[in-house]
Structure 1
Amino acid sequence: MKELKIFGIVAAFTLLLYWGVEPFAHSKMHKHVEGHDFVYNGTADIEEAEAKGKQEVAEAKKKFWADVEKISKLKGDVAAGEAAFATCLGCHTGQPINMGGVIPPKLDHAGALYDKKYLIALIKDPAMASNVDHKYKDTSTHPMGSIKMMMGGDQQIADVVAYIKAKKAAEVTPKEAYEEACGRCHAMRYMKWTQLGETPKFKYEKDALAYKIKVLDEQDAVKKYMGKLPPDLSIIIRARSEHFLETFVENPQSQLPGTSMPRVGLTKEGYEKVKAYLEESGDPSKPKREALGPWVLLFFFIFTILAYLWKKSVWKGHH
């Protein structure tokens, strides 16, 4: 019985260290903020402005998100939205062409990845929607700011979003989700992904060097727009806690006040797709490790019983 008691003490201390110390360390490294389960209604933005004592900004955000709520209740016309969506294709071509410091994202799966109210807000005022209005005295100077003047009112916004949600909502893979939501700014060297897309294979070194120069030029443009080059996300899934990643993606300002990183407006399902790709990149052995875990525990359980029975048999008659 003494050995079982020792085993119990060791197991208890091991669990205490794993479940107590590691989460505690993360809680000290990354502040805890309340998430909103990827619901975009302006609550977080208004609370942030009020907490900073910026009442005028808070009132502007209240009005903005109230307008978004009103538009979300309009019945959108998909056919009319398709015609108006042509306006978006002038920039959102899917080609790596830098405009205003960033490459406009592809919208192939926008209806599946992004929240409806966020899309409405993004068309109505991109800077306000992405919560980076603190960077602009006039939000129309945002790289996408001109869209506010190109849309013909609330009904047309509702029509465009109805079209996006109906016709741009095909099933999206984790890789596609990452590329469309994050890949314009964040490289992933382990997946050979740059701000210009997946790195091609080159036959000649000079072609590889020429491509590298293009990537460096693009990184300079992104750096100028963002203030610094956004980090490589190859192992971010292992470097940050799940709570940090979820709340940061939902609202970057919650974890890094003043950051230039925009809110991207992912739905919960869209975030899970992106997270799956981050896990594939930064922790590719996780599925195998998780599958092996129960067998290892089973081995130790059986080994403990056999060791105890062996000890009992060997010491039988010696007490």
Structure 2
Amino acid sequence: MRELKILAVVVILTLITYWGVEPFAHSQMHPHVSPANFKFEEADKVSAKEKVEKAQKALEEAKKLNNEKTIKGATLTLDEAAKYDTTVNEFWASNQDALKATGNVANGETLVTSNCTACHSIESKGFPQLMDNASAGAAYGVTPPDLGSAGKLYSKEYLIAFIKNPALASKVSHKFVDGRAHPMPSYDWMQPQEIADMVAYLESIAPKEMTNKQVFNDACQRCHGIKYADMKKGSMAAFTSNGDIKAYMGKLPPDLSQYIRSRGANYLETFINDPQKQLEGTAMPRVGLTQESQAQVIKYLEEVGDSKKAQREELGPKFLIYLAIFAIFAFLWKASRWRDVH
């Protein structure tokens, strides 16, 4: 009986740690954030409103402390949050006509090939890169993407927003202040119908299917590399050189080889969808992937950094059953050996 009591104590303490202490510690290191939202207009309005509410609470707390410097800082933060909230709502309101318009593919082709191919390639349509990756990265800060898959990777909503104002659409407008300009110019001077036409063309030339690796290459590899990959997968360097991307981002973007293990799929789902949720003020842009494309990126990171996950999960229940059977036999053997002693 003594052994059973000891076992019961160990089990109870383990469960308390697993379901109580560990989740609490995790919540402190990684505060809960709202789930990924692929309706970007809705998501932006909600996050902008939450920022205002947070700033209002901070100001109220500052007034309770009655510290002039703290109150001044909180007031400035609230003013900035309110201004951003207004900007976001006006921005998405200005996109409505383009969102409702039916795009003309032929006119979109003319607009894209005359406005975009000066910087972007469309290899599938005979528009190669004008510069190699190193030269393009040095010129723009980051290598411009090939547009052949844009209509597959991104929704109409996001493409319209990004063409109109890249900094606002990707939620990095805080980076481009004091005269700094986003490497891609805003096309807010275009008519809504023209932007809709461009998006219609990009959707028409996009591939119907893409592998997980192809999605990762087009969506992530301009900035991120995979150095410590499964030997069968092979390593991949970022398209933009370390020096150029560090100067553009402010710091070197992390290697993603083991991110699926160090961060986990749940973290990546919210971070890729909106980096500002997890790291407010980060230079990492909102990529704007559709739910399907984002799932493919995460799946590829699992293939590269956690290729044995399925085998490990399959082995887990079998191992627990083995431990249970072994414990029963061990207890019975101990009882038979120690019966006479007791």
Q: 2: CA distance between counterparts of 1:290 and 1:283? A: 11
> Do 2:163 and 2:186's aligned partners in 1 also have CA atoms closer than 8 Å?
no
1:130-279 equivalences under 5 Å are: 130-137=170-177, 141-149=181-189, 152-191=190-229, 192-196=235-239, 218-279=241-302
Cα gap change, 1:165 to 1:136, in 2 (>3 Å): same
Amino acid at match of 1:194: A
Structure 1: how far apart are the matches of 2:94 and 2:150? 22
- The answer on whether the counterparts of 2:164 and 2:186 sit within 8 Å (CA) in structure 1 is no
C-alpha distance in structure 2 between counterparts of 1:81 and 1:307, whole Å: 74
Which ranges of structure 1 fall in alignment gaps of 5 or more residues? 197-214
Q: Take 1:166 and 1:139, find their aligned partners in 2: how far apart are those partners?
A: 36
Kindly provide the amino acid, as one letter, of the partner of residue 250 in structure 1: N
SS in 1 for 2:196: helix
Does the aligned pair in 1 maintain the 2:166–2:186 contact within 8 Å?
no
Normalised to the residue count of structure 1, the TM-score between the two structures is 0.80
| CA spacing shift, 1:11–1:148, aligned 2, 3 Å | same
Q: Provide, for residues 18-44 of structure 1, a one-character-per-residue CA deviation record: whole Å limited to 9, x for no partner.
A: 344333322222232223423201224
Equivalent residue in structure 1 for 2:303, among 280, 294, 306: 280
Q: Distance in 2 between matches of 1:189 and 1:306?
A: 47
Provide the residue aligned with 1:47 in structure 2.
49
Matched, 1:80 2:120: no
Give the CA deviation at 1:301: 3.0
Matching of residue 60 in structure 1 with residue 98 in structure 2: no
CA RMSD, Structure 1 to Structure 2 (Å): 2.9
User: Which structure is richer in relative contact order (CA contacts within 8 A, separation 6 or more)?
Assistant: 1
Aligned length, in residue pairs: 297
TM-score by length of 2: 0.75
Q: 1:83 to 1:305 in 2, by over 3 A?
A: farther
Identity score, percent: 46
Post-superposition offset of 1:241: 4.6
Q: How does 1:282-301 map to 2 (within 5 A)?
A: 282-301=305-324
Give the Cα–Cα distance (whole angstroms) in 1 for the partners of residues 141 and 192 of structure 2.
Answer: 28
Contact preservation (8 Å) 1:71, 1:154: yes
Which residue in 2 is equivalent to 1:91?
119
1:189-222 deviation per Cα after TM superposition (whole angstroms, max 9, x unaligned): 11322122xxxxxxxxxxxxxxxxxx7xx22111
Structure 2: runs of 5+ lacking an equivalent: 56-76, 122-128, 230-234
Residue equivalent to 2:71: none
Maintained 8 Å contact 1:132/1:262:
yes
